[in-house]
Structures are given as structure tokens and as C-alpha cells.
């Protein structure tokens, strides 16, 4: 009973009193899942619990699983602990998970961002004693502009390309970022989607998320049939024969990593939109402060400097090794929903 409420194992973050794991990366009996990105919702667990809003995408991705939904804010007793899910603002359906045992409260952030994007359920700080936080962008290099400014940049880029007779190809992660972007776009022409993006978009639209009409790219859908179009595709589709069907095109990537010039140049991209579904430096600091926690564990991202920073701010801070996200390299950026 005196043991830590949550412990850190090689399968994932574990709660002994409730006998469940949070976002485990190896198969377990019971998994509580914060959101549908593939580094958090993995295949092979006997039982899943996630928000009602996250469930359709997770089912779509993982196929035939035993899964149950839970409402935001609903409390549930699992073994000796009380569990609830709270909006993380990362992508539609994403949650922080609160675990309480006799007045002691821990919160696992999953991935989160502080700015309300108008699509995902807005981040809601949860008071706790111990906060387990991501820190993908845990360096002061990363400060996002308000998304309305990004919306202006996107509109100008799209319209500029269209005026030059070029298709706009915008690379973005297929769950969350892609849908967030389509909502930011002006009604200035057709929005085409790569199959990987269209699948999630359809599911979210069916759930009732307000998304603009999109056209899946298939045979006969190209620059001729849809002049002045904007195409949303996963980053891996850039520069492939798939992308070449649009003829003269301007390519851009929408990611928090685009804040770094070196990364943008390495990808050979002139244009990068700095927009992320993770908290920036001020966001991480504000979120941690808002929890009132005195102890903070940081998981994936710039963990070493961020932990040191937190210690200097007076927190009892530690690092948890997880298999979430990329390490501090961006080599895995392609796969990372940043």
C-alpha cells in the first residue's frame, strides 16, 4: 500500500492497485489509452479503455479489439484506485488520465497542447500531486504563434500557389493535424486528401466533428480535374509518384519541427508551417504550473534539459524512459505526430 501509485516498467506505466497499464508498448491484460496515435494505442492488449471520442479511430486502426469507451470526467473504480479521463487538447478524443488513491492524485498527460484548436476537446488542467508530462518540445526554442496567424499564412500560400497554377501539397500527420488544418483553411478551392488522411477524416466527421468537405484522391482526381486544389497528405507521400500526379506543385510541411531552419532545409522544403499538437515551451510550463503538482516526471522529448529546468524551478523532477514519440532526434519526425 505504501508503494508508488504508478510505477515504470518495461511494458509501460503501471498501476499495481488497479492492475492496469497506461499506453503500454508491450501486450498487457488491461490498457488505458490516452489517444489513437500509434505510439500510444498499440496492438495486442486483451482489453482497452479510452474516451468515447477516441474509440472509433482506435477500433479502425487496431481492428477487432475488446475496447470500452468512457466519458470525459466520468469516474470509475478500478481495483483500489479511482480513474478518470480529462481533455488533453492534443487531437480529437485525446485525454489525460487521472488516478487517485485515498486523496493522492497522479495525472498522466499523454500528449497535450494548451492552445484550443477549435476541433479537439480543449486542454483542461487537472490538479494533482504528481504529473507525468510529455515534453516533445521542452526547450525555449519552441514558441508557437497563435493558430489564427498560421491560418493566414496557409491561406496566403494556397492562394499564391493557385495563382501561379500550382497545386498545393500540404504534408501533415493523418490523425488530428490534418483535420485541424482543414478547419483553418479558407473556402478557396477543393481540399483533396490522401487515402490515409481521408479514412480518419471520415471517421471523425461521422462522429460529429465539424469538418469541411474533402475529396479522396483516386483515379481521375488530379490537377486537371481540380485546379487550384490543396492536397493534404502524410509526410511520407511528399516527392513520391503519388504526389507527381498533381504536376507543378508547391510542397509544404506542417509540424512543430518546422520551427528549426536546419530541419526544414534538410527536407528540401522552402515552406514549413510551424504548427504543432504538442505544447510549446510556455505551454508546458503553464500546464505544469496549473496542475499544482510538486513532483513531475517527464517522458518523451527533450527530457534531460527539461528535467533540469524543472528542478531549478523547485520541482521534484524525474525522467521516465518510455517508448513514446521520438527521442530527441528528428529522424523519426516522419512518424511522429508533432
Partner 1 sequence: MKRFAALFNALDATTRTGEKTAALAEYFRSAPEADRVWTIALLSGRRPKRIVNATELRLWAAEAAAVPLWLFEECYAIAGDLAETIARLLPPPERETDLSLDATLRALIAQGGRPEPERRSFVTGVWAGLGPDERFLFNKLMTGGFRMGVSSGLMTRALAQATGVEAAVMAHRLMGDWDPARTRFADLTEDGGAAEGARPYPFALASPLEAAPDSLGAPEAFLAEWKWDGIRGQIIARPGTFAIWSRGEDLITDRFPEFAPLQDHLPPGTVLDGEIVAWGGNAPLPFADLQKRIARKTVPKKLLAEAPGHFLAYDLLEAKGVDLRGAPLSERRAHLESLLAALPAGLPLTPSTVVQGDWETLAKIRATARAQMAEGLMLKRLSSPYHAGRKRGDWWKWKLDPFSVDAVMLYAQSGHGRRANLFTDFTFAVRDGNDLVPFTKAYSGLTDAEFAEITRWVGKHTVERFGPVRRVVPELVFEIGFEGIQASPRHKSGIALRFPRMLRWRHDKGVDEIDTLESLRALLRQVSMPGPTTAD
Residues that bind partner 1 (CB under 8 A): 139-141, 143, 259-263, 265-266, 268, 270-271, 302, 304-305, 308-309, 312, 326-332
Residue closer to partner 1 by CB (options 102, 143) is 143
What's 121's DSSP letter?
A: P
Best CA proximity match to 136, nearest among 324, 300, 5: 300
For the chain, the residue count is 338
Q: How far is the CB of 260 from partner 1 (least distance, A)?
A: 6
Residue closer to partner 1 by CB (options 198, 336) is 336
Please state, as a whole number, how many other Cβ atoms lie within 10 Å of the Cβ of residue 309: 20
Residue closer to partner 1 by CB (options 90, 307) is 307
Q: How far is the CB of 198 from partner 1 (least distance, A)?
A: 28
Q: Where are the beta strands (DSSP E) in 184-261?
A: 191-193, 215-216, 230-233, 249-254
Q: How far is the CB of 55 from partner 1 (least distance, A)?
A: 32
Q: Which three cell numbers stand for residue 157?
A: 500560400
Residue closer to partner 1 by CB (options 220, 241) is 241
The Cα 261–Cα 137 span in angstroms is: 15
Residue closer to partner 1 by CB (options 139, 196) is 139
Query: Alpha-carbon torsion 8, 11, 15, 21, what sign?
Result: positive
Helical ranges in the chain per DSSP H: 55-62, 147-163, 177-184, 195-207, 241-244, 261-266, 281-291, 303-312
Residue closer to partner 1 by CB (options 2, 329) is 329
Residue closer to partner 1 by CB (options 153, 207) is 153
Best CA proximity match to 67, nearest among 54, 46, 48, 85: 48
Q: How far is the CB of 82 from partner 1 (least distance, A)?
A: 37
Q: How far is the CB of 114 from partner 1 (least distance, A)?
A: 19
Q: How far is the CB of 334 from partner 1 (least distance, A)?
A: 9
Q: Strands 295-301 and 316-319: what pairing?
A: parallel
**Could you report how far apart the first and last alpha carbons of the chain are, in Å?**
38
Q: How far is the CB of 81 from partner 1 (least distance, A)?
A: 33
3-state DSSP call for residue 98? strand
Amino acid at each position: 500500500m505504501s508503494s508508488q501509485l504508478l510505477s515504470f516498467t518495461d511494458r509501460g506505466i503501471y498501476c499495481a492497485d488497479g492492475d492496469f497499464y497506461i499506453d503500454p508498448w508491450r501486450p498487457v491484460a488491461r490498457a488505458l489509452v490516452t489517444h489513437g496515435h500509434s505510439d500510444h494505442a498499440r496492438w495486442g492488449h486483451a482489453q482497452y479503455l479510452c474516451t468515447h471520442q477516441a474509440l472509433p479511430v482506435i477500433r479502425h486502426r487496431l481492428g477487432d479489439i475488446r475496447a470500452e469507451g468512457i466519458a470525459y470526467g466520468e469516474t470509475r473504480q478500478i481495483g483500489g484506485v479511482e480513474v478518470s479521463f480529462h481533455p488533453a487538447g492534443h487531437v480529437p478524443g485525446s485525454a489525460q488520465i487521472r488516478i487517485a488513491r485515498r486523496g493522492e492524485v497522479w495525472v498522466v498527460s499523454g500528449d497535450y497542447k494548451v492552445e484550443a484548436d477549435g476541433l479537439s476537446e480543449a486542454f483542461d488542467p487537472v490538479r494533482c500531486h504528481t504529473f507525468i508530462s510529455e515534453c516533445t518540445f521542452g526547450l525555449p526554442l519552441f514558441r508557437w504563434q497563435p493558430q489564427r496567424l498560421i491560418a493566414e499564412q496557409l491561406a496566403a500560400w494556397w492562394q499564391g500557389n493557385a495563382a501561379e497554377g500550382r497545386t498545393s501539397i500540404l504534408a501533415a500527420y493523418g490523425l488530428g493535424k490534418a483535420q485541424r488544418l482543414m478547419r483553418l483553411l479558407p473556402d478557396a478551392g477543393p481540399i483533396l486528401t490522401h487515402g490515409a488522411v481521408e479514412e480518419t477524416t471520415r471517421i471523425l466527421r461521422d462522429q460529429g466533428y465539424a469538418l469541411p468537405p474533402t475529396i479522396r484522391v483516386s483515379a481521375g482526381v488530379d490537377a486537371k480535374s481540380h485546379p487550384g486544389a490543396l492536397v493534404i497528405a502524410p509526410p511520407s507521400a511528399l516527392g513520391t509518384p503519388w504526389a507527381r500526379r498533381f504536376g507543378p506543385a508547391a510542397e509544404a510541411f506542417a509540424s512543430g519541427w518546422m520551427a528549426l531552419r536546419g530541419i526544414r532545409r534538410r527536407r528540401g522544403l522552402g515552406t514549413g508551417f510551424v504548427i504543432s499538437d504538442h505544447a510549446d515551451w510556455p505551454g508546458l510550463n503553464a500546464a505544469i504550473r496549473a496542475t499544482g503538482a510538486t513532483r513531475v516526471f517527464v517522458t518523451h522529448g527533450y527530457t534531460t534539459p527539461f528535467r533540469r529546468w524543472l528542478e531549478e524551478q523547485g520541482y521534484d523532477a524525474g525522467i521516465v524512459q518510455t517508448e513514446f514519440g521520438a527521442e530527441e532526434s528528428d529522424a523519426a519526425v516522419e512518424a511522429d505526430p508533432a
